[in-house]
Amino acid sequence: MENQITNVNEYEAIAKQKLPKMVYDFYASGAEDQWTLKENRDAFSRILFRPRILIDVSKVDMTTRILGFKISMPIMIAPTGMQKLAHPQGECAIARAASAANTIMTLSTMSNYSFEEVASTGPGIRFFQLYMFKDRNLVTQLVRRAERAGFKAVVLTADRPFIGRREADIKNGFRLPPNMTLKNFEGLDFGEKNKAGSSVSQTRRHIDPSLNWKDVKWLQTITSLPIVVKGVLTAEDARIAVQAGVAGIIVSNHGARQLDYVPAPIMVLEEIVKAVEGRIGVFVDGGISRGTDVYKALALGASSVFIGRAVVFSLAAEGEGGVRKVLKMLRDELQLTMALCGSPSLKHISRHHIFTRFPSNL
């Protein structure tokens, strides 16, 4: 009898065995010393439960609404680039798995399958993650294609004016194989003779380091889709996001891939939730690999969570079936955690169900 996979974390070891070193390192590594990469996971261990007893949990309801869309659980799929490196079906497999689980998938700008190809996999609620490029005409073209393909929101990544220093990628000379392209750029005008999407490095050179809050306002003028800003780590920026009229924010440090020695998102989540005062949705990603992690994030005020690495590792290990299993495992673990903490629905999860051992000066 084969060893049965019993938790999400076990998929990483399988992915490491199956993937070329360059690809595994690209997905798994963080910036510089990778302190934040470790901290993203470790921070959850400093949050403990205060379970309540003798509460009827014979039925546990995990359904929720995100930007008006009803989903089965407060667990969504984060944007991760170049998923065909993990599995030939890449983003299309993940889209099908998300749809089957009745949750939201976010497609990366740097995807190997296009908006149209992902949309053709069938019905589903999908968001589009956008990098702001120097050529605003290119941005407009991307957003228009996302709209036509039925995507429901734009997730603007705001924490990558320049790419972080990922030393594993430098050592490995990371690059896309010649038979893979960034499909969302095919047929678009980069404003130069070179073909759009011909290389990762070329596309990265077009990302605009001058991106600022005025550009968020500009983005609102070219689309009626709700805009979510990804990469918020301070209460100050959360307040500005509210003033800018965005629909939501994602508390995120880009999977610890940008600036090392920033706090884990879960550590700053509560102060950001307080700053927002319920005026917009607050989501969080980073280090989430258990249903208990999801519950802790919800108890600190998150509307929902996003998962990233767990998805690509399970995709590498078992394709679409692996992603389905990851979503089911996290769902089952969250359901059990809610029951054992005395929370029959998401509205019954509160700050009173946990206590933290975080440093008081953060």
Tell me the longest C-alpha to C-alpha distance in the chain. 69
Is residue 257 annotated as involved in ligand binding?
yes
Is residue 79 annotated as involved in ligand binding?
yes
Provide the CB-side half-sphere exposure for 119 (13 A, CA). Answer: 14
Is residue 308 annotated as involved in ligand binding?
yes
Question: Which amino acid, 154?
Answer: V
Is residue 309 annotated as involved in ligand binding?
yes
State the Cα–Cα distance between residues 184 and 203, nearest whole angstrom: 11
| Residue 249 Cα distances to 85, 227, 307, angstroms | 28, 9, 15
Is residue 181 annotated as involved in ligand binding?
no
Coil, strand, or helix at residue 305? strand
Q: Which two tokens stand for residue 157?
A: 């990544």
Quote the DSSP letter at residue 274. Answer: H
Coil, strand, or helix at residue 297? helix
β-pairing, 64-66 vs 69-71, is antiparallel
- Among candidate residues 87, 206, 254, 353, the one labeled active-site is 254
β-pairing, 354-356 vs 47-49, is antiparallel
Is residue 131 annotated as involved in ligand binding?
yes
Is residue 122 annotated as involved in ligand binding?
no
Q: What are phi and psi of 89, to 5 degrees?
A: -85, -10
Q: Is the dihedral of CA 354, 355, 358, 362 positive or negative?
A: positive
Q: 151, 81, 145, 83: which is closest to 123 by C-alpha? A: 151
Q: Which two tokens stand for residue 323?
A: 């992603």
Please tell me the total number of residues recorded for the chain in this structure.
362
49, β-bridge pairs: 354
State the Cα–Cα distance between residues 112 and 27, nearest whole angstrom: 15
Among left, alpha and beta (phi > 0; psi -120 to 50; other), residue 68 is left
Q: Which two tokens stand for residue 320?
A: 């679409």
Q: How many CB atoms neighbour CB 205 within 10 A?
A: 11
Is residue 258 annotated as involved in ligand binding?
no
State the Cα–Cα distance between residues 333 and 330, nearest whole angstrom: 5
Is residue 80 annotated as involved in ligand binding?
yes
Does the annotation count 352 as an active-site position?
no
Annotated binding-site members = 79-81, 108, 129, 131, 157, 166, 230, 252, 254, 257, 308-309
Annotated binding-site members for FMN = 79-81, 108, 129, 157, 230, 252, 308-309
Annotated binding-site members for glyoxylate = 131, 166, 254, 257
Residues marked as catalytic:
254
